Structure 1
Amino acid sequence: MDGHMLIIGAVIVTIVFAVMYIDIRYYENLKSLVHHNGIFKYHILQRGPKIVVIGGGSGLSTLLRGLKEYTSNLVAVVTVADDGGGSGIIREEMGMLPPGDIRNCILALANTEPEMDKLLNYRFKDGSLKGQSFGNLFLVAINDITGSFEKGIEKMSEVLSIAGRVLPVTLEDVRLVAELSNGAVVEGESKIPVISHNTGVSIKSVYLKPKDPPAYEKVLDAIGEADAVIIGPGSLYTSILPNFCVAGVSKAVNESGAVKIYISNIMTQPGETEGYDLLDHYDAIKRLGGVDNIDYIIANNGTVSAEIENKYREDGAELVKEIKKIPPGPEVIYDDFIKLKKDYIRHDEKKLAYRIMEVVLNTRLKKDHSRVFDYFYIKSLLISKRPQ
């Protein structure tokens, strides 16, 4: 009997080691194949997880640059309440939705040469076009040729061969309105944080005018099909929450079977989130955004030099304070996500994407036996891209 048990034990150990060896060899070979074969990489990225990112501003485009290394099934859902800068001028003079955030997301997902990237990001220095982005004008021209904003976005995305899709949250011409804590009402995305900061009166809530505009149908479809829905990073009241003021978006997120992840900003923002800690940010998403089932929060616990911190503090911004637990609720994933760019604090897009894909791997792909190939592919990428 003991001899039989010994043989059975030896067989089990052999099988375990064989499986481990095959596992390691599989994703090592897969990693090598993907690295050396561009066509294969293109097709395998097309099989990647379906990820919807909801937001606006520079935070959204930064995140997309990191995520496109893992999947081409990306959908950026972008607010269209912007009324400042070049986008505001185009909006008023051309009567079209603001192109700025849309353009930034398209360029973040584009597979273009550096020269093309520079061209589309170029801003005119003189004359009536001073400060205007060439990329904005490019989108205006395509909008005019195709006859609609959504078709213009599709055509520009096609021309630049982007890794995913960029969708306006609504096709309605909307304006952002804020109610301040003293009852005052401020209309205009660009005016809200300025007036709030200058008067020292905090934002109580935001809504769109007209109220509850219909969501772009493709946005709701994408959320329903997603493996992961990511909220943020971005300006809380002027970039993120306006998306949830659109009819149907909160409901679609709450009813989606996707894993829901909120990415907190690294810094507080003057006129929007002064004095906010992580719990305050999360509470606003839940209470004002109507999203009540976030599974994970990804937040920064890194620090910066006293010199940089003081520079931000002079402008009314500080590092978002971490908290140990959000009761009851999501799991909080902390890491040092700070990346300095000319002394400006930004999210490290590679580390951020890595942490997101870890969550997607373990909550979605690992449990879906029909996606074994996708699981090993993401696993191999995570091994090769593990932050040092």
Structure 2
Amino acid sequence: MTTIRIERDLRLPDDLRVARAQSAPHLGPRILFFSGGSALNGISRQLKRYSFNSMHLITPFDSGGSSQILREAFDMPAVGDLRSRLMALADESVLGQPDVYALFSHRLPKTAPQQELQADVARIIAGKHPLISAISQPMRQLIQTLMTSFAEHVPSGFDYRNASIGNLILAGGYLSNGRALEPVLFLMSKMVDVRGTVRAVVDENLHLGVDLADGRRIISQRLISGKEAPPIDSPIARCFLSDGASELSPDAVALPKRNRRLIDQADVICYPPGSLYSSVIANLLPAGVGKAIAKRPVPKVYLPSLGTDPEALGHRLVDQVNAILAPLRSDAGPEAKATDLLTHVLCDEDLPEHQCTELTERTGIQCHRMPLRLAEEMKYDPDKIARILVSLD
């Protein structure tokens, strides 16, 4: 166990706080995450044992995989990471909605003929596919209505291979609600009894861009992440939001008031593991995020990714932290100290101690090394992380 000081001495994990949260998760702490991708999903699944009140601001700037196909077809934000987090936080017990969960999590085959895939989607819309017919009314009709909206707008030649049905439902809801994500995210949350709040950090169709240390500029998340393009071979110097062609002014994209209120309510703020720029920092770029974080007097914790992050090429721990701080400081103003924006870094004990020491000496942010990862793989122990986060409240 490790003892740190926030406003009191804490023992991590704090067994009393953990037990209290586990006995009454509906009263659990409001832990706010800025994230995207799937790196946090395992921790999220464990966290719902202790709190039904976690809050997740998710990047909608993904430009790869099936999300990109939807973005190109409908000129909309990316929804794949939002759906993935909704499913991670859904009530998966028999008291939840397992039939709805199964439909939302279903993917069409990667290799089947397009005509066959279109027929599968048509059967869902008609209520004749086993996955939709298993769902009772009126939930079934609501889902069919959203899928019908998708079908009415889908362009000819749409590629259904590997499409997530949940993503298609989100797209239909987006199109039928005035091209807004929030209403359909709310509806889907209720349909699968999500144990928390999941929102896009902004409800806008934008892209992520980066400037590299060698002077090059890259726009599009899929070209940055190294998942669908060769890994970048120069360190990232800064990142920004783009309309797809050029950089947008920091003031051009504002954090919605509803999301600022989430930050104002947070008991703990967490910058979680995930791709440094496209999953974490992307959420910190809208105007107002830094100001809202700086004024909230709660623990603000960074959990750096384990293993190799292609987006953190050449980044020591202090470089990762400074990359997180850069957009927050720019927004919060020169009076904001580093510790107003990030109070603690929690690292696995495998991280060299000198990197922790360097971070604290250069930023004043406390850094703590402790056993956090699974013994058999380079991943955080989800339950251990959940218990630590609950203990910070």
Q: Does 1:56 align with 2:36?
A: yes
Partner of 1:211: 249
User: Of residues 317, 321, 328 in structure 2, which corresponds to 1:278?
Assistant: 317
Partner of 2:344: 296
Partner of 2:188: 156
Alignment of 1:140-289 (within 5 A): 140-147=171-178, 148-194=180-226, 198=231, 200-209=233-242, 210-212=248-250, 213-270=253-310, 272-289=311-328
Partner of 2:168: 137
Q: Which letter maps to 1:57?
A: G
* Cα distance in 1, alignment partners of residues 225 and 201 from structure 2: 22
**Per-residue deviation at 1:115?**
6.1
User: Of residues 328, 332, 336 in structure 1, which corresponds to 2:371?
Assistant: 336
Q: Which sits farther off after the overlay, 46-55 or 325-334?
A: 325-334
* Cα distance in 1, alignment partners of residues 349 and 266 from structure 2: 28
Cα contact 2:267–2:298 (8 A) shared by 1: yes
* Cα distance in 2, alignment partners of residues 221 and 357 from structure 1: 21
* Cα distance in 1, alignment partners of residues 64 and 167 from structure 2: 13
**Per-residue deviation at 1:334?**
2.4
Q: Residues 31 and 82 of structure 1: is their aligned pair in 2 closer, same or farther, counting only changes over 3 Å?
A: closer
Structure 2, unmatched stretches of 5+, are: 1-15, 115-158, 243-247, 333-337
* Cα distance in 2, alignment partners of residues 163 and 100 from structure 1: 19
Query: Paired residues, what number?
Result: 305
**Per-residue deviation at 1:288?**
4.2
Calculate percent identity across the aligned residue pairs.
26
Q: Residues 49 and 65 of structure 1: is their aligned pair in 2 closer, same or farther, counting only changes over 3 Å?
A: same
Q: Residues 287 and 144 of structure 1: is their aligned pair in 2 closer, same or farther, counting only changes over 3 Å?
A: closer
Q: Does 1:357 align with 2:390?
A: yes
* Cα distance in 2, alignment partners of residues 258 and 121 from structure 1: 35
Q: Residues 332 and 117 of structure 1: is their aligned pair in 2 closer, same or farther, counting only changes over 3 Å?
A: farther
Q: Residues 185 and 214 of structure 1: is their aligned pair in 2 closer, same or farther, counting only changes over 3 Å?
A: same
* Cα distance in 2, alignment partners of residues 165 and 300 from structure 1: 28
Partner of 1:93: 73
**Per-residue deviation at 1:199?**
5.5
**Per-residue deviation at 1:237?**
1.2
Q: Which letter maps to 2:348?
A: N
**Per-residue deviation at 1:66?**
2.4
**Per-residue deviation at 1:146?**
3.9
Cα contact 1:53–1:60 (8 A) shared by 2: no
Q: Residues 275 and 115 of structure 1: is their aligned pair in 2 closer, same or farther, counting only changes over 3 Å?
A: farther
Cα contact 1:103–1:135 (8 A) shared by 2: yes
**Per-residue deviation at 1:321?**
4.7
**Cα deviation code 1:252-293 (max 9, x no counterpart):** 1111122111111112312x1124332222222123443822
**Cα deviation code 1:283-324 (max 9, x no counterpart):** 22123443822111111225xxxxxxxxxxxxxxxxx65534
Q: Which letter maps to 2:344?
A: Y
Q: Residues 260 and 184 of structure 1: is their aligned pair in 2 closer, same or farther, counting only changes over 3 Å?
A: same
Higher relative contact order (CA 8 A, sep 6+): 2
Q: Which sits farther off after the overlay, 215-224 or 286-295?
A: 286-295
Partner of 2:381: 348
Partner of 1:82: 62
**Per-residue deviation at 1:109?**
0.9
Bigger radius of gyration, 1 or 2? 1
**SS at 1:142's partner residue?**
helix
**SS at 1:153's partner residue?**
helix
So what's the TM-score if we normalise by structure 2? 0.71
**Per-residue deviation at 1:164?**
1.2
Q: Which letter maps to 1:278?
A: L
**Per-residue deviation at 1:76?**
0.2
So what's the TM-score if we normalise by structure 1? 0.72
Partner of 1:124: 108
Cα contact 1:171–1:215 (8 A) shared by 2: no
**SS at 1:205's partner residue?**
strand
* Cα distance in 2, alignment partners of residues 115 and 335 from structure 1: 40
Whichever structure has more helix as a proportion of its residues is: 1
Q: Residues 321 and 206 of structure 1: is their aligned pair in 2 closer, same or farther, counting only changes over 3 Å?
A: farther
RMSD: 2.7
**Per-residue deviation at 1:227?**
0.9
**Per-residue deviation at 1:46?**
2.5
Structure 1, unmatched stretches of 5+, are: 1-26, 36-40, 303-319, 361-388
